[in-house]
Chains A and B, each alone.
Chain A
Amino acid sequence: MVTTDLAAATEHYLDLIGRADEYGAVDLVLGLIDEGVPAEDALLRVVAAGQRRVGELWASNEWTVAREHGATAVSERVVAAVSGRVRPAATRGRVAVACADGEYHALPARIMAEVLRLRGWRVDFLGASVPGPHLITHLHQTGPDVVALGCTLATRLPRAHATISACQAVGVPVLAGGAGFGADGRYARLLGADAWAPSADAAADRLAAGLPSFPAAHDGAAAARLGGEEYAYLARHRAELLSRVMDRLGDDTGEDLGHIADYLIAAMYVHDPALFTGFVTWTCQVLAARNVPAESVVRGLRALHDVLTDCPDTRLVLDEGVAAACADQRAETRV
Chain B
Amino acid sequence: MKGATGSAGPPHGAVRPAPDLLTALLDGSAEGIVLCDADGVVTLVNAAAVRLMPGVEPGLPAPAPLGPVPSAPEGRTMIHGGRAIRIRAEAVGDGRLAWYLSDLDAAPRTEFLLEAGRRLSASLNPHRCARAATELAADFLCDMAVVLLPSTARRRMEWVRAVSGRPGAEEGTLPAAEAAEVPGLTDALAGLRHGGTGLHVPRDTGLQDPGGAPEWLLPEGFGPLGHLLVLPLPGNGVPAGAIVLARRAGRPPFCDDDQRMARDLAIRAGAAISAASLFREQSTINAILTGDLLPPDLPEIEGMRVAGRLRASQQAGAIGGDFYDVYLPDAATGDGIVERPPLVILGDVCGKGARAAVLAGQVRHSLRTLLLLESRTDRLLELLNRSLLASPSPHSYVTMILAALRAAPGDHVLVDLAVAGHPPPLVLRRDGTVEEVAARGSILGALKQISLWPVTLDLAPGEVCLLYSDGITEAFGGPSGREMFGEERLKAALATCAGMPVEALVERLEQLSTEWLGGAPATGLQDDRALLAVRAGRQG
On A, residues with C-beta under 8 Å from B are 20-23, 65-67, 69-70, 72-74, 76, 93, 101-102, 104, 128-129, 131-134, 136-137, 139-143, 145, 169-172, 210, 212-214, 217, 235, 238-240, 242-243, 246, 254, 258
Contacts and interface: CB of A to CB of B under 8 A. Distances in A.
A258 B479 contact: yes
Contact of B119 (A134, A143, A171, A235): A171
B479 A171 contact: no
A65 B124 CA distance: 43
| Chain A to chain B: the 5 pairs with minimum beta-carbon distance, closest first | A143-B125, A171-B122, A131-B315, A133-B316, A73-B504
A129 B479 contact: no
B167 interface: yes
A213 B500 contact: no
A31 B81 CA distance: 72
22 contacts: A22-B501, A22-B540, A66-B499, A66-B500, A69-B505, A69-B508, A70-B501, A70-B504, A74-B501, A102-B514, A102-B515, A128-B507, A129-B511, A133-B522, A140-B125, A140-B279, A143-B126, A213-B168, A214-B135, A239-B480, A240-B481, A242-B479
A254 B128 CA distance: 47
A76 B503 contact: yes
A169 B167 CA distance: 20
Do most interface residues of chain A lie in helix, strand or loop, or is the interface mixed?
helix
Contacts of A22: 501, 539-540
Given A22-B501, A172-B128, A243-B480, 5 more contacts: A69-B505, A101-B522, A140-B283, A143-B128, A240-B481
Given A67-B499, A70-B501, A170-B123, A141 B514 contact: no
Interface in B16-68: none
B217 interface: no
Given A22-B501, A66-B496, A104 B479 contact: no
A137 B511 CA distance: 23
Contact of A171 (B123, B503, B540): B123
Residue from A21, A72, A93, A141 having most chain B Cβ neighbours under 10 A: A141
A22 B538 CA distance: 11
A267 to B, nearest CB: 17
Contacts of B118: 217
B523 interface: yes
Residue from B128, B507, B523 having most chain A Cβ neighbours under 10 A: B128
Contacts of B508: 69
Given A134-B318, A143-B128, A69 B519 contact: no
Interface in B482-522: 482, 496-501, 503-505, 507-508, 511, 514-515, 518-519, 522
B260 interface: no
B355 interface: no
B379 interface: no
Contacts of B123: 139-140, 143, 170-172
Contacts of A101: 522
Nearest to A159: B519
Interface in B160-197: 167-169
A138 B503 CA distance: 25
A213 B505 CA distance: 40
B479 A246 contact: yes
Interface string B519-540: 1001100000000000000011
Nearest to B125: A143
Given A70-B500, A72-B504, A238-B518, A133 B523 contact: yes
Contacts of A172: 123, 128
A137 B316 contact: yes
A254 B515 CA distance: 13
A246 B483 CA distance: 16
Do most interface residues of chain B lie in helix, strand or loop, or is the interface mixed?
loop
Residue from A141, A142, A143, A238 having most chain B Cβ neighbours under 10 A: A143
Contact of A239 (B125, B504, B518, B523): B518
A171 B128 contact: yes
Contacts of A239: 478-482, 518
B111 to A, nearest CB: 11
A140 B124 contact: yes
Residue from B315, B480, B504 having most chain A Cβ neighbours under 10 A: B504
A218 B37 CA distance: 49
Contacts of B169: 213
B293 to A, nearest CB: 15
B127 A66 contact: no
B132 A254 contact: no
A73 B514 contact: no
B131 interface: yes
A169 B122 CA distance: 6
B376 interface: no
A195 B481 CA distance: 36
A88 B313 CA distance: 37
A142 B276 CA distance: 11
B280 interface: yes
A311 to B, nearest CB: 18
A179 B46 CA distance: 61
Contacts of B280: 141
Contacts of A210: 167-168
B119 A214 contact: yes
Contacts of B287: 141
A161 B119 CA distance: 21
A127 to B, nearest CB: 10
A134 B315 contact: yes
Nearest to B511: A104
Contacts of A238: 481, 518-519
Contacts of A66: 496-500
